């Protein structure tokens, strides 16, 4: 991501410099009141620019197309066009399925769930899942969602950079001042805004895949038995974790209940929470992995209290 943002910045900065130089028609000395550190008057240079709406629109389109090409890969071959998907999202989905399958197999000893169910769960191979039509459909859904996020990211970035140029022309500042704002904008693109997408989309891709596999196991294998696989919410319990996220840590839900909560409001945005599968009795609700459950509750209570 940082490498692609740098490619954009290396082309946008000289473009903006050229536009300002070509549009400059005058420099005017003006008196400006500075309030800090003490109120005083200073003489500053105000730059007068003239640029037609048509030219400004052309620049806006150029910046937007440049960001689209690098962020979405619209002019590359198909594989390259999906760099953000193949680099991040696909791997997250595969990790989610793999973790869910491994956990399910660990949770299903014959002494607990019976020989038939245990053998059936342990006979599932990860490669089999990747070949199933439902896996491709879920992968397509992740691709569509991530693509929309990248479009939003690109549109927001293009609007911000174009806005800097427009404000420079109307306020009459020089390129040196504009360059600082442009640099900050691209630092934000490669920094917290990119991190927000990565955190949100990757975590959602991995946990959705995990819970989808858990649902499949409950439907296809555990439906006839006495047990079901639930999920235990695990908060990162980090300094910036939201209190209502931390308060769920150690609580147990059905995959659908957990999914519904994640889809409420902004719960998914910048979320670092995860889930772990738990085997429980359908009738009594008794959890079999009591040590794991107790440990999660203790960690939550140490962090925020009961």
Q: What is the pLDDT of residues 202-211, one digit of tens each?
A: 888 889 999 9
Summary mean pLDDT of the chain: 87
Question: Nearest 10 degrees: CA dihedral of 20, 26, 29, 31?
Answer: -70
For the purposes of burial, counting CB atoms within 10 Å of the CB of 201, is it exposed (0-12), middle (13-18) or buried (19 or more)?
Answer: buried
Report the C-alpha gap between 30 and 147 in whole angstroms.
48
Which tens digit of pLDDT belongs to each residue from 254-266?
999 999 999 999 9
What pLDDT score does 40 carry? 67
Across 1-10, 70-79, 84-93, 236-245, which has the greatest mean pLDDT? 236-245
Say whether pLDDT at 2 is over 70. Answer: yes
- 225 versus 57: which is more confidently predicted? 57
56-80 mean pLDDT: 77
Q: What is the 3-state secondary structure (H, E, C) of 67-81?
A: HHHHHHCCCCCHHHH
* Cα radius of gyration rounded to whole Å, the chain: 27
Residue 144: how many CA atoms within 13 Å on its side-chain side?
6
Structure tokens at 67: 């960001």
User: What distances in angstroms separate CA 145 from CA 64, 96, 138, 260, 261, one per listed residue?
Assistant: 21, 17, 11, 17, 18
Say whether pLDDT at 286 is over 90. Answer: yes
128-137 mean pLDDT: 85
> CA 8 from chain center: how many Å?
21
What pLDDT score does 249 carry? 96
20-24, 148-152, 265-269: range with lowest mean pLDDT: 148-152
- The pTM of this model reads 0.74
CB 211 within 8 Å of CB 273? no
Helical H segments across 221-273, by residue range: 243-246, 255-262
Contacts of 183 (CB under 8 A, 6+ apart): 9, 13
What pLDDT score does 144 carry? 84
Which tens digit of pLDDT belongs to each residue from 264-279?
999 999 898 999 999 9
């Amino acid at each position: 991501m940082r490498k692609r943002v740098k490619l954009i910045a290396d082309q946008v900065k000289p473009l903006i410099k050229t536009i300002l130089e070509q549009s400059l028609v005058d420099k005017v000395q003006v008196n400006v009141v500075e309030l800090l550190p003490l109120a005083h008057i200073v003489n500053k240079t105000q730059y007068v620019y003239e640029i037609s709406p048509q030219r400004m629109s052309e620049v806006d389109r150029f910046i937007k197309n440049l960001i689209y090409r690098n962020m979405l890969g619209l002019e590359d071959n198909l594989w390259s066009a999906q760099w953000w998907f193949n680099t991040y999202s696909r791997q997250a989905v595969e990790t989610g399925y793999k973790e869910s399958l491994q956990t399910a197999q660990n949770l299903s000893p014959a002494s607990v769930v019976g020989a038939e169910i245990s053998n059936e769960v342990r006979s599932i191979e990860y490669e089999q899942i990747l070949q199933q039509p439902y896996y491709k459909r879920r992968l397509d859904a992740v691709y569509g969602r991530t693509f929309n996020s990248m479009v939003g990211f690109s549109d927001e970035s293009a609007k911000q950079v174009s806005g800097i140029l427009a404000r420079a022309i109307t306020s009459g500042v020089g390129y040196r001042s504009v360059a600082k704002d442009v640099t900050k904008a691209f630092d934000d693109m490669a920094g917290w805004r990119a991190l927000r997408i990565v955190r949100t989309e990757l975590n959602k891709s991995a946990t959705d895949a995990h819970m989808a596999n858990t649902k499949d196991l409950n439907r296809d294998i555990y439906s006839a038995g006495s047990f079901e696989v639930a999920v235990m919410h695990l908060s990162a319990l980090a300094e910036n974790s939201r209190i209502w996220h931390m308060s769920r840590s150690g609580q147990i839900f059905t995959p659908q209940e957990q999914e519904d909560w994640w889809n409420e409001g902004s719960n998914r945005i910048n979320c670092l929470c995860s889930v772990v599968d738990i085997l429980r009795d359908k009738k009594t609700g008794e959890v079999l992995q009591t040590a794991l459950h107790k440990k999660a509750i203790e960690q939550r209570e140490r962090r925020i209290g009961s």
